Amino acid sequence: MRLILYPLSIIYGIITTIRNFLFDYGIMESKRHKIPIICVGNLSLGGSGKTPHVNYIAKVLSQSHKVSILSRGYRRRLSGFHYIELNSTASDIGDEPLQLKLNNPNCIVAVNGNRNIAVTKILSDHPETSVILLDDGFQHRKIAAGLNIIVTPFHKPFIKDNLAPLGTLREPINQATRADIIIVSKTPSNTNSKERKEMTKSLNLKSHQKGYFSSIKYQRYKCIKNNSKLENEQEYSITLVSGIENSTPLVKHLQEQGREVNLIKFADHHNYTSKDIENILSLHRQNESIKKLILTTEKDATKLRRFLTDFKQENVYYIPINTVINNKEIFEKQLFDYVKSN
pLDDT at 1 over 80: no
User: Which 8-state DSSP code applies to residue 266?
Assistant: -
Average pLDDT, integer, range 34-60: 95
User: Which 8-state DSSP code applies to residue 233?
Assistant: G
Question: Is the separation of the CB atoms in 318 and 222 below 8 Å?
Answer: yes
What radius of gyration do the chain's Cα atoms show? 21
Closest alpha carbon to 43 in 25, 20, 65: 20
Q: Indicate the residue type of 325.
A: I
All structural domains of the chain: 2-217+323-341 (3.40.50.300), 220-319 (3.40.50)
Is the omega angle on the peptide bond into residue 52 within 30 degrees of 0, that is, cis?
Answer: no
Check: pTM over 0.85? Answer yes or no. Answer: yes
- pLDDT tens-digit profile of 122-134? 999 999 999 999 9
Q: What is the DSSP track for 150-173?
A: EEEETTS-GGG--BTTTSSBSS-G
- pLDDT tens-digit profile of 195-242? 999 999 999 999 999 999 999 999 999 999 899 998 888 889 999 999
pLDDT at 314 over 90: no
* Whole-number pLDDT of residue 30: 96
What percent of the chain stands above pLDDT 90?
87
Count helices and strands in the chain by DSSP H and E runs: 11, 14
Helix axes 50-61, 95-103, angle to 10 degrees: 30
* Whole-number pLDDT of residue 251: 94
